[in-house]
Protein backbone atom coordinates (compact mmCIF):
# COMPACT_ATOMS: atom_id res chain seq x y z
CA UNK A 1 0.00 0.00 0.00
CA UNK A 2 2.81 2.38 0.91
CA UNK A 3 4.38 1.84 -2.49
CA UNK A 4 1.12 2.56 -4.24
CA UNK A 5 0.62 5.76 -2.28
CA UNK A 6 3.96 7.26 -3.07
CA UNK A 7 3.73 6.14 -6.65
CA UNK A 8 0.40 7.92 -6.91
CA UNK A 9 1.93 11.01 -5.35
CA UNK A 10 4.65 10.92 -8.00
CA UNK A 11 2.04 10.63 -10.72
CA UNK A 12 0.14 13.55 -9.23
CA UNK A 13 3.24 15.70 -9.33
CA UNK A 14 3.59 14.95 -13.02
CA UNK A 15 -0.01 15.49 -14.08
CA UNK A 16 -2.99 16.56 -12.05
CA UNK A 17 -5.33 14.76 -14.42
CA UNK A 18 -3.71 11.46 -13.47
CA UNK A 19 -5.08 11.87 -9.93
CA UNK A 20 -8.67 11.77 -11.05
CA UNK A 21 -10.63 8.55 -10.58
CA UNK A 22 -9.91 6.06 -13.30
CA UNK A 23 -12.62 4.91 -15.67
CA UNK A 24 -11.30 1.90 -17.51
CA UNK A 25 -12.12 1.77 -21.19
CA UNK A 26 -13.97 -1.19 -22.59
CA UNK A 27 -11.86 -4.27 -22.89
CA UNK A 28 -11.67 -5.84 -26.30
CA UNK A 29 -10.76 -2.60 -27.97
CA UNK A 30 -8.02 -2.64 -30.55
CA UNK A 31 -4.94 -0.78 -29.41
CA UNK A 32 -1.81 0.50 -31.04
CA UNK A 33 1.56 0.62 -29.32
CA UNK A 34 2.34 4.08 -27.97
CA UNK A 35 5.51 5.72 -29.16
CA UNK A 36 6.64 7.51 -26.01
CA UNK A 37 7.55 4.55 -23.85
CA UNK A 38 10.17 6.57 -22.01
CA UNK A 39 7.58 8.86 -20.41
CA UNK A 40 6.01 9.42 -18.03
CA UNK A 41 7.05 6.35 -16.11
CA UNK A 42 10.80 6.87 -15.98
CA UNK A 43 10.41 10.42 -14.74
CA UNK A 44 7.88 9.42 -12.10
CA UNK A 45 10.03 6.70 -10.67
CA UNK A 46 12.78 9.13 -9.79
CA UNK A 47 10.68 10.28 -6.82
CA UNK A 48 9.70 6.82 -5.61
CA UNK A 49 10.83 5.65 -2.19
CA UNK A 50 11.66 2.05 -1.31
CA UNK A 51 10.24 -0.10 1.49
CA UNK A 52 13.12 -2.59 1.44
CA UNK A 53 10.63 -5.46 1.71
CA UNK A 54 11.42 -8.22 -0.76
CA UNK A 55 8.88 -8.77 -3.51
CA UNK A 56 7.08 -12.08 -2.99
CA UNK A 57 8.09 -15.01 -5.11
CA UNK A 58 5.45 -16.86 -7.10
CA UNK A 59 5.42 -20.01 -9.17
CA UNK A 60 6.88 -19.99 -12.67
CA UNK A 61 4.14 -22.12 -14.20
CA UNK A 62 4.54 -24.26 -17.32
CA UNK A 63 4.67 -21.61 -20.06
CA UNK A 64 7.97 -19.77 -19.65
CA UNK A 65 10.14 -19.61 -22.78
CA UNK A 66 13.74 -18.45 -22.85
CA UNK A 67 14.96 -16.12 -25.58
CA UNK A 68 12.22 -13.49 -25.45
CA UNK A 69 12.89 -10.35 -27.49
CA UNK A 70 13.98 -7.11 -25.82
CA UNK A 71 11.33 -4.47 -26.31
CA UNK A 72 9.44 -1.70 -24.52
CA UNK A 73 6.01 -2.86 -25.68
CA UNK A 74 4.40 -6.27 -25.92
CA UNK A 75 1.53 -4.83 -27.96
CA UNK A 76 1.39 -5.75 -31.62
CA UNK A 77 -0.55 -3.39 -33.92
CA UNK A 78 -4.26 -4.14 -33.77
CA UNK A 79 -3.98 -6.38 -30.76
CA UNK A 80 -7.21 -6.30 -28.72
CA UNK A 81 -7.11 -5.50 -25.02
CA UNK A 82 -6.91 -2.81 -22.40
CA UNK A 83 -3.50 -1.12 -22.70
CA UNK A 84 -1.50 -0.80 -19.52
CA UNK A 85 1.90 0.64 -18.70
CA UNK A 86 3.77 -1.14 -15.94
CA UNK A 87 6.72 0.81 -14.62
CA UNK A 88 8.90 1.15 -11.56
CA UNK A 89 12.36 0.27 -10.41
CA UNK A 90 14.43 -2.82 -9.77
CA UNK A 91 16.28 -2.43 -6.48
CA UNK A 92 17.81 -4.65 -3.84
CA UNK A 93 16.70 -4.82 -0.20
CA UNK A 94 19.00 -1.90 0.58
CA UNK A 95 17.06 0.06 -2.05
CA UNK A 96 20.10 0.31 -4.30
CA UNK A 97 19.11 0.30 -7.98
CA UNK A 98 20.16 -2.66 -10.12
CA UNK A 99 21.10 -1.02 -13.38
CA UNK A 100 21.07 -3.47 -16.26
CA UNK A 101 18.62 -5.86 -14.60
CA UNK A 102 16.60 -7.84 -17.13
CA UNK A 103 12.86 -7.94 -16.48
CA UNK A 104 11.22 -10.69 -18.53
CA UNK A 105 7.43 -10.82 -18.98
CA UNK A 106 5.04 -13.40 -20.38
CA UNK A 107 1.26 -13.45 -20.26
CA UNK A 108 -1.98 -14.46 -21.92
CA UNK A 109 -3.86 -12.36 -24.44
CA UNK A 110 -7.25 -10.74 -23.91
CA UNK A 111 -8.90 -14.14 -24.26
CA UNK A 112 -6.70 -15.98 -21.79
CA UNK A 113 -4.44 -17.71 -24.33
CA UNK A 114 -0.65 -18.05 -24.25
CA UNK A 115 1.40 -18.07 -27.40
CA UNK A 116 3.51 -21.16 -26.85
CA UNK A 117 4.96 -21.32 -30.35
CA UNK A 118 6.13 -17.72 -30.71
CA UNK A 119 6.78 -14.63 -28.64
CA UNK A 120 3.44 -12.83 -28.74
CA UNK A 121 3.00 -11.08 -25.39
CA UNK A 122 6.46 -12.17 -24.35
CA UNK A 123 9.41 -9.85 -24.01
CA UNK A 124 11.96 -8.32 -21.71
CA UNK A 125 13.21 -4.87 -20.90
CA UNK A 126 16.44 -3.72 -19.29
CA UNK A 127 16.48 -1.45 -16.25
CA UNK A 128 18.35 1.80 -16.76
CA UNK A 129 20.88 3.50 -14.52
CA UNK A 130 18.52 4.28 -11.63
CA UNK A 131 16.90 0.85 -11.86
CA UNK A 132 13.85 2.17 -13.73
CA UNK A 133 12.06 -0.10 -16.16
CA UNK A 134 8.95 0.35 -18.28
CA UNK A 135 6.85 -2.15 -20.22
CA UNK A 136 3.69 -1.51 -22.20
CA UNK A 137 1.28 -4.36 -22.58
CA UNK A 138 -2.40 -5.27 -22.47
CA UNK A 139 -4.42 -6.54 -19.57
CA UNK A 140 -4.39 -10.36 -19.78
CA UNK A 141 -7.59 -12.33 -19.32
CA UNK A 142 -7.87 -15.05 -16.70
CA UNK A 143 -7.90 -18.68 -17.74
CA UNK A 144 -9.52 -21.63 -15.98
CA UNK A 145 -8.22 -21.94 -12.46
CA UNK A 146 -6.19 -18.74 -12.46
CA UNK A 147 -6.95 -15.08 -11.81
CA UNK A 148 -5.60 -12.61 -14.38
CA UNK A 149 -1.84 -12.36 -13.96
CA UNK A 150 1.41 -11.48 -15.70
CA UNK A 151 4.47 -13.67 -15.16
CA UNK A 152 7.80 -12.00 -14.50
CA UNK A 153 11.38 -13.06 -14.05
CA UNK A 154 14.10 -10.65 -12.96
CA UNK A 155 17.73 -11.35 -13.80
CA UNK A 156 20.90 -9.63 -12.62
CA UNK A 157 23.13 -8.06 -15.29
CA UNK A 158 25.39 -11.14 -15.01
CA UNK A 159 22.45 -13.41 -15.84
CA UNK A 160 21.72 -14.72 -12.36
CA UNK A 161 18.01 -15.21 -11.77
CA UNK A 162 16.93 -12.95 -8.91
CA UNK A 163 13.18 -13.43 -8.81
CA UNK A 164 10.35 -15.41 -10.39
CA UNK A 165 6.94 -14.05 -9.63
CA UNK A 166 3.56 -12.97 -11.00
CA UNK A 167 1.71 -9.66 -10.99
CA UNK A 168 -2.03 -9.81 -10.39
CA UNK A 169 -4.41 -7.48 -12.15
CA UNK A 170 -7.03 -5.26 -10.53
CA UNK A 171 -10.16 -7.29 -9.85
CA UNK A 172 -8.31 -10.35 -8.57
CA UNK A 173 -8.32 -9.17 -4.95
CA UNK A 174 -10.54 -12.00 -3.73
CA UNK A 175 -8.45 -14.79 -5.23
CA UNK A 176 -6.46 -17.19 -3.09
CA UNK A 177 -3.33 -16.28 -5.06
CA UNK A 178 -3.58 -12.61 -4.10
CA UNK A 179 -4.55 -13.34 -0.52
CA UNK A 180 -1.37 -15.42 -0.27
CA UNK A 181 0.82 -12.63 -1.70
CA UNK A 182 -1.03 -9.31 -1.55
CA UNK A 183 2.05 -7.30 -2.50
CA UNK A 184 1.80 -8.78 -6.02
CA UNK A 185 -1.51 -7.04 -6.73
CA UNK A 186 -1.03 -4.08 -9.04
CA UNK A 187 -3.29 -1.04 -8.95
CA UNK A 188 -4.12 1.43 -11.68
CA UNK A 189 -3.21 4.91 -10.47
CA UNK A 190 -4.35 6.85 -13.51
CA UNK A 191 -4.51 6.91 -17.27
CA UNK A 192 -1.99 8.62 -19.51
CA UNK A 193 -2.56 10.59 -22.69
CA UNK A 194 -2.26 7.39 -24.73
CA UNK A 195 -5.14 5.76 -22.86
CA UNK A 196 -2.87 3.41 -20.98
CA UNK A 197 -3.69 2.45 -17.41
CA UNK A 198 -0.70 3.31 -15.23
CA UNK A 199 0.46 0.45 -13.03
CA UNK A 200 3.48 1.27 -10.84
CA UNK A 201 5.35 -1.68 -9.42
CA UNK A 202 8.84 -1.96 -7.94
CA UNK A 203 10.73 -5.22 -7.84
CA UNK A 204 12.74 -5.52 -4.63
CA UNK A 205 15.13 -8.45 -4.87
CA UNK A 206 18.02 -9.96 -2.93
CA UNK A 207 21.49 -8.79 -3.77
FE1 LIG B 1 0.06 -18.18 -16.15
pLDDT in tens, 133-180: 999 999 999 999 999 999 999 999 999 999 999 999 999 999 999 999
Distance 195 CA to ligand 1 centre (A): 25
Distance 149 CA to ligand 1 centre (A): 6
Work out the number of other CB atoms within 10 angstroms of the CB of residue 21.
5
The phi and psi torsions of 100 (rounded to 5 degrees) equal: 85, 0
Nearest Cα neighbor of 86 from 102, 68, 100, 103 is 103
> pLDDT digit of tens for each residue in the chain (207 aa)?
444 434 433 443 333 333 333 333 334 455 656 654 444 444 444 445 788 899 999 999 999 999 999 999 999 999 999 999 999 999 999 999 999 999 999 999 999 999 999 999 999 999 999 999 999 999 999 999 999 999 999 999 999 999 999 999 999 999 999 999 999 999 999 999 999 999 999 999 998
Please indicate, yes or no, whether the overall pTM of this predicted structure exceeds 0.75. yes
Please report, in angstroms and rounded to a whole number, the separation of the first and last CA atoms in the chain.
24
Work out the number of other CB atoms within 10 angstroms of the CB of residue 22.
15
Nearest Cα neighbor of 196 from 68, 90, 82, 101 is 82
Alpha-carbon distances, residue 10 vs 36, 62, 100, 149, 188 (angstroms): 18, 36, 23, 25, 13
Distance 44 CA to ligand 1 centre (A): 29
Delimit the domains of the chain by residue range. 2-205
Nearest Cα neighbor of 58 from 160, 156, 143, 185 is 185
Distance 115 CA to ligand 1 centre (A): 11
**Cβ–Cβ < 8 Å for 137, 201:** no
Distance 16 CA to ligand 1 centre (A): 35
DSSP 8-state symbol, 15 = -
Determine the pLDDT at residue 32.
59
Work out the number of other CB atoms within 10 angstroms of the CB of residue 11.
22
Distance 47 CA to ligand 1 centre (A): 32
Distance 15 CA to ligand 1 centre (A): 34
CATH, domain range 2-205: 2.60.130.10
Amino acid sequence: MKRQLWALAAVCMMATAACMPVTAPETGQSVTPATDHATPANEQTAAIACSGELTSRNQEGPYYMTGSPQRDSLIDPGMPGLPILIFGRVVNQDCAPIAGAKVDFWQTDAEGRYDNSGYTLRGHTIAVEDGAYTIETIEPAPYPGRPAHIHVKVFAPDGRELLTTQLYLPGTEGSADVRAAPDLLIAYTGQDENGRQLAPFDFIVRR
